[in-house]
């Protein structure tokens, strides 16, 4: 389960968390291409919820890391818990146990680091794959036991080209609790839309943002998507 220039170095099973963790060297983005000079990362698969997540091992330097060593180990802890440690050349990541006083942080080579949320939905088609609909607003529902900000990015498809979507970034939701926010897209009439919700600043060591759902407010708009006359056959 690797992509681009990534190489899988270890695979761990954490039964108490329903997780399979793959340790890979290098970092690939959505297009599946990345360089081995970037820091290692982890691919987590939760086989209970059937969801993939990723996390990075914080590097201690930015030098070229073509020959970096990386590995992962796990062993039985207290009761039915498994402990997990990821080792790299000059870097370390320890995933804390459930119930730990710092359960919402990871221990790295630079100290305790808060665990941010970075969630991207699949494409939402309000009127079917070939439809065309108005998305008036998106309501984000969740909880924020401790105040911090998070950001929202929106991707739109209007022409049917999913390889080059239009993107709206920089929507910031500041210190609110509970985490209920309404986002009004700048482009409302589209074929599909997807949402990215993420934290990139002010992530604390406390329990932070948790999401429970998204609500799309959809306006009425008849007919299929717009098709140029040259593509209409009679």
Q: Band the pLDDT of 154: cuts 50, 70, 90.
A: very high
In a domain, 151, yes or no: yes
CA distance 202 to 10: 32
**Same domain, residue pair 144 and 156:** yes
**Same domain, residue pair 25 and 108:** yes
In a domain, 82, yes or no: yes
Is 196 a residue whose pLDDT tops 90? yes
Is 213 a residue whose pLDDT tops 80? yes
In a domain, 195, yes or no: yes
pLDDT at 174: 76
The residue range of the domain holding 76 is 7-115
In a domain, 96, yes or no: yes
**Same domain, residue pair 96 and 56:** yes
In a domain, 227, yes or no: no
Query: Could you say which of 81, 115, 149 is where a domain stops?
Result: 115
Q: What is the CATH number of the domain that holds 202?
A: 2.60.120.1190
**Same domain, residue pair 68 and 125:** no
**Same domain, residue pair 26 and 91:** yes
| Region of poorest pLDDT, from 20-24, 90-94, 166-170, 196-200 | 90-94
Question: What would the pLDDT profile of 34-70 be if each residue is shown by its tens digit?
Answer: 444 455 677 889 999 888 887 766 655 555 454 455 6
Q: What is the pTM for the complete model shown?
A: 0.67
pLDDT at 170: 72
Is 32 a residue whose pLDDT tops 80? no
pLDDT at 1: 41
Mean pLDDT rounded to a whole number for the chain: 73
In a domain, 226, yes or no: no
The mean per-residue pLDDT over the stretch 141-152 comes to 81
**Same domain, residue pair 178 and 206:** yes
**Same domain, residue pair 48 and 128:** no
In a domain, 97, yes or no: yes
In a domain, 1, yes or no: no
Query: Could you say which of 83, 115, 147 is where a domain stops?
Result: 115
pLDDT at 66: 44
Percentage of the chain beyond pLDDT 70 is 62
**Same domain, residue pair 23 and 41:** yes
Query: Could you say which of 49, 84, 115 is where a domain stops?
Result: 115
pLDDT at 190: 86
**Same domain, residue pair 139 and 104:** no
The first and second tokens of residue 192, run together, are: 């599909």
**Same domain, residue pair 51 and 97:** yes
Q: How many domains does the chain have?
A: 2
**Same domain, residue pair 15 and 79:** yes
């Amino acid at each position: 389960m690797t992509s681009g220039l990534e190489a899988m170095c270890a695979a761990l099973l954490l039964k108490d968390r329903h997780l399979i963790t793959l340790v890979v060297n290098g970092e690939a983005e959505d297009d599946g291409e990345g360089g081995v000079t970037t820091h290692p990362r982890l691919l987590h698969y939760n086989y209970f919820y059937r969801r993939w997540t990723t996390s990075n091992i914080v590097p201690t330097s930015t030098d070229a890391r073509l020959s970096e060593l990386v590995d992962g180990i796990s062993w039985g802890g207290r009761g039915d818990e498994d402990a997990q440690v990821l080792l790299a050349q000059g870097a370390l990541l320890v995933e804390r146990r459930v119930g730990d006083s710092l359960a919402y942080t990871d221990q790295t080579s630079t100290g305790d680091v808060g665990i941010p949320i970075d969630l991207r939905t699949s494409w939402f088609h309000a009127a079917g794959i070939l439809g065309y609909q108005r998305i008036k607003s998106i309501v984000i529902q969740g909880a924020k036991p401790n105040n911090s900000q998070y950001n929202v990015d929106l991707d739109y498809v209007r022409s049917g080209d999913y390889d080059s979507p239009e993107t709206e970034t920089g929507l910031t939701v500041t210190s609110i609790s509970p985490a209920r926010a309404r986002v009004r897209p700048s482009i409302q009439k589209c074929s599909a839309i997807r949402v990215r919700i993420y934290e990139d600043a002010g992530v604390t060591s406390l329990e932070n943002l948790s999401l429970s759902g998204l609500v799309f407010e959809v306006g009425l708009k008849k007919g299929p998507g717009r098709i140029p006359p040259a593509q209409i056959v009679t």
